[in-house]
Chains A and B, each alone.
Chain A
């Protein structure tokens, strides 16, 4: 199985900050990488798919990059509604695997 290692597990940030989350795959997955945002009590929401393609309707302050084993999610200018937990997920092969999650908290 492909292991996804996400870091950091949490980050404290303020509105307006730039936030970066990284995700590393245990083997190459090309660009089969999706980023999700999840708020408490809600289903995850896709932000980025194919490593760098912004899902329709997602604000442009979110961006993704990487290929192979190393990936990054960046929130350019953190907004109040962005405080949430973020997950990466590989779709290169079954079983799909998720990173452990990164909680973006208010500083």
Chain B
């Protein structure tokens, strides 16, 4: 069974940093592009970042470019989103999602709250 389990969310002050992790199981992790998608409270879905199977290619939404980085460890089946210089409008549930032509598996999400 495919499982994606996010962790690392929490309350952080504006300008602070946070690291989100996604632990994958039930599939050959190294064969799939991985993504982070977020959803602000009461709002729609916003794709945040993606990383290729080998980690050689990374992609970011303009809203997070220069502040967020993404990495993966194919030996540990994990993908990590490092978030720096967080702003109030980064407050959202962050989902880890598998796929390159649409996301066919999603984690349950982890809540990030940016507030003083």
Residues of A within 8 A of B (CB): 1, 32, 34, 36, 38, 42-46, 49-50, 55, 87, 89, 91, 94-101
* Distance to closest chain A CB from B91 (angstroms): 16
A-B contact pairs, 26 of them (CB 8 A): A32-B102, A34-B101, A34-B102, A38-B45, A42-B108, A43-B106, A43-B107, A44-B45, A44-B103, A46-B102, A49-B101, A50-B102, A89-B45, A91-B99, A91-B101, A91-B102, A94-B50, A95-B47, A95-B59, A96-B35, A96-B37, A96-B50, A97-B47, A98-B45, A98-B47, A99-B44
Which of A1, A32, A38, A43 is the one whose CB lies under 8 Å from B101?
A: A32
B104 near A: Cβ within 8 Å? yes
- Chain B positions within 8 Å of A32 at CB level: 101-102
Q: Are B108 and A91 in contact (CB under 8 A)?
A: no
- Chain B positions within 8 Å of A95 at CB level: 47, 59-62
Q: Are B61 and A43 in contact (CB under 8 A)?
A: no
Interface size on B, residues (CB 8 A): 22
> In whole angstroms, how far apart are the Cα atoms of A42 and B102 in the complex?
18
Q: Are B46 and A46 in contact (CB under 8 A)?
A: no
Residues of B within 8 A of A (CB): 35, 37, 44-47, 50, 59-62, 95, 99-104, 106-109
Known contacts A43-B95, A94-B50, A94-B59: A100-B101 contact under CB 8 Å? no
- Where chain A touches its partner, the secondary structure class is loop
Known contacts A43-B109, A94-B50, A96-B35: A49-B104 contact under CB 8 Å? yes
> In whole angstroms, how far apart are the Cα atoms of A4 and B35 in the complex?
19
Q: Which 7 A-B pairs have the closest CB atoms?
A: A34-B102, A43-B106, A96-B47, A94-B59, A98-B45, A91-B101, A101-B44
- Chain B positions within 8 Å of A44 at CB level: 45, 95, 103, 106
Q: Which residue of chain B has its CB nearest to the CB of A92?
A: B101
Residue picked from B50, B100, B101, B102, most chain A C-beta under 10 Å: B102
